[in-house]
Structure 1
Amino acid sequence: MSIHRRKRSGRTSAGIYGQGRAGSGVTGGACTGIGMMKRKLGAHDNLKITIQQNGDKFNVKEASNFRNIEIEFTLGVNFEYSLADGTELSGAWTLEGNKLVATFTRKDNGKVLKATREIVGDELVQTYVYEGVESKRFFKRG
């Protein structure tokens, strides 16, 4: 399944993804300034992501062993979000081809976190780039 826009149909493009394999190199939170202990816990969070799309509006549900949240956003419109460790961010998602791309600014230090979510084969690949360090997380379609 790919992430794409639906034109005026009112129908949603949905996908449910559960955590699959870990990325190579730096994983998870090292990229976003999260310490080693929180990264180890995060490796076992059993995160499931559900993405629903209706035109330019998205509903994303993130369910894990540690928290369950639901985020609604419109492409190109700033909104506020907090990471699992409580780090508060402000930014917006855009759609570039079949890839969701976001630029968020941390409220505590003003540094930028870039994020992408992209369907590659049967996986959702989530990539974060923070202070020049990239981390990836892979989710299998469920």
Structure 2
Amino acid sequence: MPCDLSGKWVYASGDGMDALLDLLKVPAEKRPTDPSSTVEITQSGDDFTVKTTAADGNCREAKFTIGVEFSDPDIKALRGVEVKATPCWEGDKLVLKGSGGNGTATREIVGGQLVMSFDIMGTKATRFFNKA
């Protein structure tokens, strides 16, 4: 049975995000000057709502269902292009797989923290969140 990711999570630390943003060609003016954010996940069976609030108050919300392709609003906001992803469970990990097969974003609970791992065309980054 997949784990329950529901709850409010506060940014603790991260690694590799600059290299990932460089790879994705995210313009400097769209890059956060403060990496901290709060993620609120509501999970009901296979349906998810993920609300991300940046340190500057900017808020984005993604709604998706396991197995159903969707357009990721975070990527569109940062890169200005629409990227589709399909969410699935891999054990206790929630994995969003990019439609071109070029990347994944994974959410899982490790040692009481929400860990978000990105692997885009071989470039990896990780963000760690503590339960609020």
Asked if Structure 1 and Structure 2 have the same fold, meaning a TM-score greater than 0.5 normalized by the shorter chain, the answer is: yes
Give % identity.
30
Structure 1 length-normalised TM: 0.75
Give 2:107's aligned amino acid. R
- How many equivalent residue pairs? 126
Q: Is the deviation greater in 55-64 or in 31-40?
A: 31-40
Matches within 5 A, 1:1-142: 3-4=3-4, 14-23=6-15, 27-32=16-21, 33-34=23-24, 38=28, 41-42=31-32, 44-64=34-54, 65=56, 67-82=58-73, 83=75, 84-85=77-78, 86-105=80-99, 112-142=102-132
Name the amino acid aligned to 2:109.
Answer: I
TM-score by length of 2: 0.80
Q: Deviations over 1:38-82 (max 9, x none)?
A: 499436142111111111111111111262111111101000013
| Structure (1/2) with the larger helix percentage | 2
- Say which SS state the counterpart of residue 137 (structure 1) adopts: strand
4+ aligned runs moved over 3 Å, structure 1 = 34-41
Query: Aligned-residue CA RMSD in angstroms?
Result: 2.6
Unaligned runs of 5+ in 2: none
**What is the rounded CA distance, in whole Å, between the counterparts of 2:115 and 2:104 in structure 1?**
14
